[in-house]
């Protein structure tokens, strides 16, 4: 079981969206720290690259899956238990966005696509993590949901992403409450401007609340990986309910 103490055996983690960006950084940080990590996502080649980069050998297990498919998610969690015997940590990270267009121009399909990944997929993973963590011995575990600073303050023309990230906050609060009696600790990490492929456009200029276009600073995505690792290594008697990590000079505090 994970307890954050040097020399102790680390637990079993499942990271969704582990092939790129924040998921990859978190998976690499966990593997470097001695965790056994299941890497999941839709693109097997990217997951394999994460596994190879880690040099973690058999502690890294690639299991591709689509989090928007509830049957595939249930099968994924069953495979984790079959292979490693238990699950101590879920980093519920997979997410997507929609084009930055006026909300009246957002298509129904674009809306549903974001909801299906960011909200439905996160719920399916959360639900199955509860199922596994309640049944195993020792009982319990930790779930870290990837929110976003958009769970608190929106950007212009981001209604699908922002609405789903606000909903993730509801998932986190409710699951944290429901998980207490099962020793399941649920928290959320809210990230602002980490250097990933998705966020690279920030350096070229993005719309601000006053309508101006301005470039924004980025922080190294490895900082986010270390933040996830810190939360993961806490004893189950302690929980970080909400953790915000962001580029220091990004225009978030005072936005609008």
Instruction: Please give the positions annotated as active site.
Output: 161
Nearest to residue 18, comparing CAs of 59, 58, 48?
48
Distance between CA 34 and CA 236 in Å, rounded? 18
Largest CA-CA distance found in the chain, in angstroms, rounded:
55
Distance between CA 220 and CA 237 in Å, rounded? 30
SS (H, E, C) 8-25: CCCCEEEEECCCCHHHHH
94 contacts 23 by C-beta, under 8 angstroms:
yes
Angle between helices 159-178 and 108-115 (to 10 degrees): 30
Residue 178, Ramachandran bin (φ over 0: left; ψ between -120 and 50: alpha; else beta): alpha
Work out the burial of residue 74: count CB atoms within 10 Å of its CB; fewer than 13 is exposed, 13-18 middle, 19 or more buried: middle
Nearest to residue 1, comparing CAs of 97, 84, 123?
84
Instruction: Find the helix or strand (DSSP H, E) in which 95 lies.
Output: none
* Contact residues for 164 (Cβ-Cβ < 8 A; gap 6+): 114, 115, 118, 119
Strands 206-207 vs 213-214: parallel, antiparallel or unpaired: antiparallel
């Amino acid at each position: 079981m994970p307890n954050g103490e040097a020399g102790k055996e680390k637990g079993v983690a499942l990271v969704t969206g582990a092939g790129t960006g924040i998921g990859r950084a978190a998976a690499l940080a966990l593997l470097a720290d001695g965790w056994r990590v299941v890497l999941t996502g839709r693109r097997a080649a990217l997951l394999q690259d994460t596994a190879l980069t880690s040099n973690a050998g058999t502690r890294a297990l690639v299991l591709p899956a689509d989090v928007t498919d509830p049957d595939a998610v249930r099968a994924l969690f069953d495979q984790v238990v079959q292979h490693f015997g238990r699950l101590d940590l879920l980093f519920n990270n997979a997410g997507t966005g929609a084009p930055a267009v006026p909300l009246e121009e957002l298509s129904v399909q674009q809306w549903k696509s974001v909801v299906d990944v960011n909200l439905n997929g996160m719920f399916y993973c959360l639900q199955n993590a509860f199922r596994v963590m309640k049944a195993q011995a020792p009982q319990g575990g930790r779930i870290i949901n990837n929110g976003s600073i958009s769970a608190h303050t929106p950007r212009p023309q981001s209604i699908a992403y922002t609405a789903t990230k606000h909903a993730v906050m509801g998932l986190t609060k409710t699951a944290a409450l429901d998980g207490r009696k099962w020793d399941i600790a649920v928290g959320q990490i809210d990230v602002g401007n980490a250097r990933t492929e998705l966020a690279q456009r920030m350096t070229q200029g993005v719309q601000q609340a006053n309508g101006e276009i301005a470039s924004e600073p980025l922080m190294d995505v490895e900082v986010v990986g270390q933040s996830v690792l810190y939360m993961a290594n806490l004893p189950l008697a302690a929980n970080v309910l909400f953790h915000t990590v962001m580029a220091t000079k990004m225009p978030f505090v005072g936005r609008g």
